Amino acid sequence: MNSRRLFLQKLGGTALATQLAPIAAWAAKPGMEETYQGPVLRVAIMGLGGYATRVADAMKDCKKAKLVGVISGTPSKIKDWQGKYNIPEKNCYNYENFDTIKNNKDIDAVYVITPNALHHDNTIRAARAGKHVICEKPMAISAKEGQEMVDACKKANVKLLIGYRMHFEPQTLEVIRMRKDGELGKITFFQGLTGFTINDPNQWRVDKKLAGGGSMMDIGIYSINGARYMVGEEPIWVTAQETKTNPAIFKEGVDETVQFQLGFPSGAVASCLSTYNMNNLDRFFLNGTKGYVEMCPSTNYGPIQGRSHKGPLNQPIVTHQTVQMEEMADIILNGKKPVVPVDGEEGVRDMKIIEAVYAAVKSGQKQKISL
């Protein structure tokens, strides 16, 4: 997508009742000109790490969302982003003065891309400032914190969306369509394998205070969430086992490898693995009485590839974060209903399942899940 088009956005028009400014955007294509006239979601990114850079670069191609501000505790990063993304000084904040963003009418939403343990407070501060919130997953380090975030956003009358980029990915949506249309028959089994290797003991992902756990609080959420939207049901029980081979890196409360099994009301089951100790694990497999779908890679930045009993999946290859931000802008600005929810309640459900996984590991017993 980045190679096909560059969108130039120009502020203008009449302010909306919600203080969202319409923008005219032009997309150059060979032999034609495509014009977008409509409201644009003006976004400030909080936390300027590697993934934030990926999102910012992808937003250059958005028509309905525009990066206009930054929040960071590192002044040098703010300066770098100002130059790279043309961010005005008045839209730059640190964590001390961030609450004054409530007085900035040129920012509509804050995208929270900080370590997991900071999501709760960052989201609530943004909501109290009257800004819509997009929060990276996992939304928090507990279901309790997640619910508090949902409640705070409702109280402030702002939207809370979670960064489930796969909910908008074309291959993924095609599998969901096939399942809904009965092409796979009755769903019987799902497998989700997600993982990569961490060898750095100083990375925040293996710091319990910042991450809230280990691989389950990061890569494992893809298999949990994937099992739910692939099977099309909510799990009712879980069993789980933990394997730890390197306690020097994966200290108490930081899981290295977790295998977990989910059961669904229809009788379908899921077998999943989440790890920080193995590479080459990015695979979903969905089986039904009439057919199957395999996706590999299934959740990384792409290109996502899949095949079914009918042959290859041939949906368009997209930049996930560009599509995500376009769709989320539509949800916030126009009330669009996505095929798979990305709201705060969706995030809380995943947190409840993660907590059940951890409880099953600790007890060695099957845990009931109530969502």
Map out the domains of the chain as residue ranges.
Answer: 7-163, 166-315+344-368
The token pair that represents 173 in the structure block:
């949506």
Measure the CA–CA gap between 151 and 144, rounded to whole angstroms: 11
**What is the CATH superfamily name and number for domain 7-163?**
NAD(P)-binding Rossmann-like Domain (3.40.50.720)
Task: Please enumerate in sequence order all residues whose Cβ is within 8 A of that of 250, keeping only pairs 6 or more positions apart, or say none.
Answer: 206, 214, 244, 256, 276
Classify 350 as helix, strand or coil: helix
Helix (H, G, I), strand (E, B) or coil at 18: coil
Would you state the structure tokens that stand for residue 304, as one six-digit string?
């996502």
Pairing of strands 367-368, 237-243: antiparallel
Tokens 């042959």 belong to 311
The one-letter amino acid code at 352 reads K
Q: What is the pLDDT of residue 36?
A: 86
Determine phi and psi for 82, rounding to 5 degrees: -55, -45
* Cα angle value 240/269/174 (rounded, 5°): 120
Please, how many CA atoms are within 13 Å of residue 170, restricted to the half-sphere of its CB? 12
Q: Which of 85, 111, 222, 229 is catalytic?
A: 222
| This prediction's pTM | 0.90
Fold of the domain built from segment(s) 166-315+344-368: Dihydrodipicolinate Reductase; domain 2 (3.30.360)
Which is catalytic among the residues 63, 64, 131, 137? 137
Q: Mean pLDDT, consecutive 10-residue segments, the chain of 371 residues?
A: 36 37 39 75 98 98 98 98 98 98 98 98 98 98 98 98 98 98 98 97 96 97 98 98 96 97 98 97 98 98 96 97 98 98 98 98 98 94
pLDDT for 24: 36
Q: Are the beta carbons of 293 and 229 closer than 8 angstroms?
A: no
CA nearest 135: which of 323, 324, 320?
324
The DSSP-derived string for 57-87 is: HHHTT-SSEEEEEEE-S-HHHHHHHHHHHT-
pLDDT digits (tens, 9 = 90+) for 119-150: 999 999 999 999 999 999 999 999 999 999 99
Residue 305, both tokens: 């590839």
Residue 137 annotated to the active site: yes
State both tokens at 121. Answer: 């407070």
Q: How far apart are CA 238 and CA 230, in angstroms?
A: 17
Residue 29 bears catalytic tag: no
Q: How far apart are CA 191 and CA 358, in angstroms?
A: 19
- Residues 111, 44 contacting (CB under 8 angstroms): yes
For residue 37, count other CB atoms closer than 10 A to its CB. 11
Q: How many helices (H) and strands (E) does the chain have?
A: 9, 18
